[in-house]
Structure 1
């Protein structure tokens, strides 16, 4: 559980607008955002600035290099965020930072920046669960009331639903996350990491024409993705595979292209995710699905989930890359909700952790 303590003056029903600065840096995105909660209960995004650490094709991002990127860009990103919001740090009511989960070194870099600002300007700190930040920002932007949440990102794959002031995990990946699966295959076929490997796999998949046989592994409410990654990688060693996607001769039409592999990988993985999400909907009787996390930007995933939801008489909610991909404003939103309930993180306990499960958070702001 996070090291949160009760503050002396809860702001559940503030008599003035309340502002929060959110800092996110759990992976290769460094984000800073400012959000305002008005006295009437409405929220306004004042700024949302982000900078991404991009590596060459075929390479992933290492913790040490990513942390260095965050330290180099922290001042510029925060300054731009405050300028876009037309405020100064002195106007902020609390500073929120990602406590976890995520990569250790980048998390530490951002926590250090948040702690420094809090001490310099005498502001309260609020440590935020990265996953809950995605959920609360998704709920705020889309207006979803009580949805089943499919949280899909580079480091996490979970089906979540709210109950009794906790986000309960109904199902999750048993090995690697869906974003990690897509990113690793993008490196195998040497796709660019700009703007992201997952986005480039999505664009490549749109050109795919052949659905290849791949493992489909759901185990109850959970999924396993390591096997399908191994299987799709094996196709790149097949004698029919052509990395340039072109046949050698008019007679040689039985080829496998990178587009076919991307298409097949997406279709199978997303079908697994739709299946376990539908089970959760049936279990809790919900007709709403909210997709959050970086992979939630994928239009094909949204389309497949929309088909399932429509057949059940329901609706799917999703956001665009501004709020799906890791960003500072989602940390500000979740942190401010907690702060308004009277919680803050003492500076002496403003640590971070690589493992921080979604269901460890006390969701005090929901009835």
Structure 2
């Protein structure tokens, strides 16, 4: 089957330009991406990131970010960030082919704040809307930045933990968390320890873990291809309450336990689909220890790990723009009245029409 990416190109058009708007949690990201006319799978047709701006709402230490407060933050910042992104990209509204917004999954109030802004821009500029699955955005941005061809994807963030592989125009979920996500587990542990939320709880735990040396045995809960983390969190919280262990050792032990579980189910998926590539995406994917552990496993299998830095691992607007332009070029468009967000929008619900 031949995929035609250029049915929507105007005469003489060389680029598709998309504005991406992401606000599914406490990060508000706006990005501008341009893709050359032609098959984006060809190396010479790689996308160009024109701007990537972001602002984060951080709650006080010991607290998580509440939907109402996060939504207020997004409403306060969205106009400023859109102006900044367009200015840095050196374009005007008339250059934009599509406005891409996160349609889910995520927190309801922040999602709604951003989609209202996207609708307003679409009507004001007369530019089509494209709804994007947040998880697909992470995957497509990761593939674009790293050059990974057809990897097993480990998607780890505050709200999601999934092992994914592509098959027959779907990103299939091979394993996932049965309760809380790995990022949420780390965030909640940080609250117990009153660790600051700036720049992120997971990053601060990572730095503390580097000073740990004693491994404290914790429950290891892998169930087939799935895993569970709520019991581990409860167990380590009880140790904190007893006050018998150093904070650095607790952070070290929690990371080692959780990441070993992730490596196990990822390796099993690699064996199942006969892949030697692993792509780590999502906010927790920035963690250097997770990348190191996954790298050891992949090298033992004669494979390779692909990962990105905080510009692309952490929620951002360019990942929504990248996936949105791919959708748009294949004919997708979202009417304003259909631009409804969903807190539960699974990765495998999306028909990946831009891949063979």
Q: What TM-score does the superposition give when structure 1 sets the normalisation length? A: 0.92
* C-alpha deviation, 1:42, in angstroms: 2.2
Q: How many angstroms apart in 2 are the aligned matches of 1:99 and 1:160? A: 20
Q: Is the contact made by 1:12 and 1:340 (CA closer than 8 Å) also made in structure 2?
A: no
2:217 is matched with which residue?
213
1:182 is matched with which residue?
186
1:302 is matched with which residue?
291
Q: How many angstroms apart in 1 are the aligned matches of 2:30 and 2:190? A: 28
2:15 is matched with which residue?
17
2:281 is matched with which residue?
292
Q: 1:119 to 1:281 in 2, by over 3 A?
A: same
2:336 is matched with which residue?
347
For these two proteins, the number of residue pairs brought into alignment is 346
**Is the deviation greater in 200-209 or in 36-45?**
36-45
Q: How many angstroms apart in 1 are the aligned matches of 2:216 and 2:127? A: 55
Structure of larger gyration radius? 1
Q: How many angstroms apart in 1 are the aligned matches of 2:171 and 2:9? A: 23
Q: Is the contact made by 1:58 and 1:187 (CA closer than 8 Å) also made in structure 2?
A: yes
2:87 is matched with which residue?
83
- Moved beyond 3 Å, runs of 4+: 7-15
1:133 is matched with which residue?
137
Q: How many angstroms apart in 1 are the aligned matches of 2:256 and 2:156? A: 15
2:259 is matched with which residue?
270
Give yes or no for the alignment of 1:171 onto 2:175.
yes
Pick from 154, 157, 161: which aligns with 1:157?
Answer: 161
Q: 1:158 to 1:223 in 2, by over 3 A?
A: same
Q: 1:57 to 1:338 in 2, by over 3 A?
A: same
* C-alpha deviation, 1:209, in angstroms: 1.2
Name the SS for the 2:242 alignment partner. Answer: coil
* C-alpha deviation, 1:213, in angstroms: 1.1
Pick from 37, 58, 62: which aligns with 1:58?
Answer: 62
Q: How many angstroms apart in 1 are the aligned matches of 2:188 and 2:10? A: 44
1:200 is matched with which residue?
204
Q: How many angstroms apart in 2 are the aligned matches of 1:115 and 1:167? A: 28
* C-alpha deviation, 1:340, in angstroms: 0.5
Pick from 34, 37, 41: which aligns with 1:36?
Answer: 34
Q: How many angstroms apart in 2 are the aligned matches of 1:222 and 1:80? A: 41
Q: 1:15 to 1:91 in 2, by over 3 A?
A: closer
Q: Is the contact made by 2:9 and 2:37 (CA closer than 8 Å) also made in structure 1?
A: no
| Aligned pairs for 1:85-104 within 5 A | 85-104=89-108
Q: 1:239 to 1:114 in 2, by over 3 A?
A: closer
Q: 1:8 to 1:263 in 2, by over 3 A?
A: closer
Unaligned runs of 5+ in 2: 39-44
For each residue in 1:48-68, what CA deviation from the matched residue of structure 2 results, as whole angstroms up to 9, or x when unmatched? Answer: 000000111001000000000
Q: 1:239 to 1:189 in 2, by over 3 A?
A: closer
Pick from 101, 118, 125: which aligns with 1:121?
Answer: 125
Give yes or no for the alignment of 1:259 onto 2:248.
yes
Q: 1:192 to 1:273 in 2, by over 3 A?
A: same
Give yes or no for the alignment of 1:45 onto 2:49.
yes
Q: How many angstroms apart in 2 are the aligned matches of 1:88 and 1:323? A: 24
Q: Is the contact made by 1:11 and 1:342 (CA closer than 8 Å) also made in structure 2?
A: no
Q: How many angstroms apart in 1 are the aligned matches of 2:268 and 2:162? A: 13
2:227 is matched with which residue?
223
